[in-house]
């Protein structure tokens, strides 16, 4: 037996969704999708070639050295000026060494070791008959 809800059976689902719900759903989908940037990368011989590469006013062009040593981003401003950003390729930095305190000696320990060594040296310089060298 079907249960009636507001004059409709409980299994009834409307064929349409309210317009506000559709707009909310579209906004949520748009916010979750990160922007995608598609870029054309042009290979050049080096930084000088990147400086002379023609770029239209108000446009930006990504360039890469043929030997993969650097990436250049050239921007032509509407007033005629050019900006060239250079990103040089380098190996990743080595990890920072881990501090191990057991490899180090504190100052007070050094002073104690020195005084013990001096006392041992003085004791070794005495002869068995009590004379000092």
Residue ranges per domain, the chain?
A: 41-88
Q: Cα separation of 111 and 100, whole Å?
A: 21
pLDDT tens-digit map of 7-53: 666 565 555 555 655 666 666 655 677 888 888 999 999 999 999 99
DSSP 8-state secondary structure symbol assigned to residue 132: B
Contacts of 63 (CB under 8 A, 6+ apart): 41, 42, 43, 44, 49, 50, 53, 71, 72, 73, 74
Mean pLDDT of 106-119: 91
Q: Give the global pTM.
A: 0.47
H-type alpha helices, the chain: 19-32, 47-52, 107-125
């Amino acid at each position: 037996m079907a249960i009636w809800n507001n004059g409709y059976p409980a299994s009834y689902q409307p064929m349409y969704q309210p317009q506000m719900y559709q707009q909310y759903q579209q906004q949520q989908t748009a916010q979750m999708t990160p922007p995608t940037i598609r870029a054309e990368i042009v290979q050049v011989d080096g930084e000088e070639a990147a400086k002379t590469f023609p770029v239209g006013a108000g446009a930006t062009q990504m360039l890469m050295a043929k030997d993969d040593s650097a990436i250049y981003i050239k921007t032509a401003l509407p007033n005629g000026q050019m900006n060239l950003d250079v990103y040089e390729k380098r190996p990743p930095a080595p990890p920072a060494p881990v501090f191990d305190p057991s490899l180090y000696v504190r100052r007070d320990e050094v002073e104690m070791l020195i005084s013990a060594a001096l006392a041992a040296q003085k004791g070794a310089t005495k002869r068995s008959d009590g004379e000092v060298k």
